[in-house]
Amino acid sequence: MALVDIWKSSPEQLKGKTVQQILSFAGNGTLRDGNETSEEFRTYLAHVTSSTLAEHASFCLNNKFTDSGLALQDVVNQIGKRLGFAIEYGRYRGVRNEVGFDGIWKSKSGESILVEVKTTDAYRLSLDTTANYRKKLIKAGELQEEHSSILYVLGRSDTGDLEAQVRGSRHAWDIRLIKLDALLRLLSVKEELDDVETFDKIRAILRPKEYTLVDEIVDLVFTATQDAVSDDVEEEDATIDSRPNPQPKGKKFTTANFRAPCVERLQKHLGETLVKQSAATFSTPDDSLGVLVPISREYHDRSKGTNYWFGYHRKQHEALAQYDKALIAFACGTEEQIVLIPREELNGWLDFFNTTTGEDKHYWHIHLVHVEKTWILETKQEFEHIDVTKYFLK
């Protein structure tokens, strides 16, 4: 049984296991270029949570074992994928006539980053060697000189000497350094946001740039903070003036304690792992399916039954367009009540809903009403309401 199949069918077998122990379940337990162990391990990494990636990275750094550096290389490349880059895995070990890089991360804007993972400060970085890798790839047509750079991901905490080495080299304008814990924090920030434009700004941080003018950094901090602060509010603020007062039941309603069990239920229903991409968006590891999970508490109205209110944002709608198949899982008060509507279907109804448009936001007011066994999408007065009972997840 492949490692990922064990993870899907019997996750308790792998729970609490170190990355060294995890590798023993994959192939012959030894990482080699192109072998079964490598394929299984990389597939497994694509399915686990970002917190598990962080645990594996920490173990690789703090415990020397066979292939620890190679396992860390795969973990770092998976972090790059979670940040939104298209990943090309490099070689574990250099061979004659092959360019020896750890990974190439490509953004949708056409920028490419040659990634090198360093776990120790025992030796000075060979900047010329890495720069020559980049030159060879440019010559081979795999990279463009004006749209490519080098990123060193460093496991050590004290980087002062390395920073000085880069600043004093002739490659200073092509190279950037980032500590692994900072890269993981960057991923954590991305997973708490829901703005595609902010994701582009996050990725741009990893490319060499002259920061005499710091406006872009300030802009990123501002937009990220605004997005994070509004996450718990914006999903429920649609038509806030016209909705009835909520009737809270049970534990305090928060997005954190509500969305997680919804995603667990969706995974069982779809038979797929859903990897967190942003605050409310998840996707399968191969990015063939995207799922948005907006949530609402219950609002009771004697004349209309139980109501649920959502703000469906244009940026969320556009983000789902990148997937071959996309679903919106409207979670209504509990993970036991999910109305799962294909994006294509909802797209044909958007003109029927009220909207809120501001300087930096645009969203549709999605109002679901539950009466006995029927689920209705309420529309503007000039349109008939839409029966979506068939989309209710039983």
pLDDT in tens, 209-267: 876 666 777 777 777 766 655 544 444 444 444 455 544 444 455 565 689 999 999 99
Tokens 């066979």 -> residue: 66
Angle among Cα 331, 332, 335 to the nearest 5 degrees reads 60
Classify 8 as helix, strand or coil.
Answer: helix
Task: Assess if residue 89 is contained within a domain.
Answer: yes
Q: Provide the 8-state DSSP code for 207.
A: S
pLDDT-wise least confident of 97-101, 179-183, 345-349, 386-390: 97-101
Q: Does one domain contain both 263 and 384?
A: yes
- 81 and 184 inside one domain: yes
Q: Which of 191, 226, 254 is the last residue of a domain?
A: 191
For range 137-153, the mean pLDDT = 93
Would the pTM count as exceeding 0.85?
Answer: yes
Instruction: Examine the domain organization and report whether 240 and 187 are in the same domain.
Output: no
Q: How many domains does the chain have?
A: 2
Residues 250 and 366 in one domain: yes
User: Of the candidates 191, 225, 246, which is a domain's last residue?
Assistant: 191
Strand, coil or helix: what is 376?
strand
**Number of Cβ within a 10 Å radius of residue 334:** 16
For residues 306 and 299, is the Cβ–Cβ distance under 8 A? yes
Same domain? For 261 and 172 the reply is no
Question: 220 in a domain, yes or no?
Answer: no
Q: Does 40 map to a domain? A: no
Longest dimension (CA), the chain: 76
Q: pLDDT at position 239, please?
A: 41
Q: Which residue has the tokens 């038979």?
A: 271
Q: Are residues 69 and 176 in the same domain?
A: yes
Higher pLDDT, 320 or 157: 320
Q: Is 85 in the same domain as 185?
A: yes
Greater model confidence, 159 or 4:
4
Measured CA to CA, the distance from residue 66 to residue 392 in angstroms comes to 50
Of 52-61, 123-132, 184-193, 248-257, which one has max mean pLDDT? 52-61
In a domain, 42, yes or no: no
Q: Is the pLDDT assigned to residue 82 strictly greater than 50?
A: yes
Label residue 46 by pLDDT band (50, 70, 90).
very high
Asked if the structure places residue 208 within a domain, the reply is no
Q: Is residue 156 part of a domain?
A: yes
Q: Are residues 93 and 146 in the same domain?
A: yes
Domain boundary among 158, 191, 224: 191
Domain that holds residue 154: 49-191
- Quick one: tokens of 71? 């396992």
Task: Evaluate whether residue 374 is within a structural domain.
Answer: yes
Token look-up 């409310």 returns 280
Burial group, residue 372, by CB count within 10 angstroms (0-12, 13-18, 19+): exposed
Is there a single domain that holds both residue 131 and residue 75? yes
The CA distances from residue 269 to 45, 130, 340, 394, in Å, are 22, 46, 11, 9
* Backbone angle region of 16, left / alpha / beta, with phi > 0 → left and psi within -120 to 50 → alpha: left
Asked if residue 248 and residue 387 are part of one domain, the reply reads: yes
Choose the weakest-confidence range: 202-211, 299-308, 365-374. Answer: 299-308
Q: Are residues 287 and 373 in the same domain?
A: yes
Q: Do 291 and 387 share a structural domain? A: yes
230 domain-assigned: no
Instruction: Give the domain CATH number at 68.
Output: 3.40.91.50
> How deeply is 14 buried, as exposed, middle or buried, from its count of CB atoms within 10 A (0-12, 13-18, 19+)?
middle
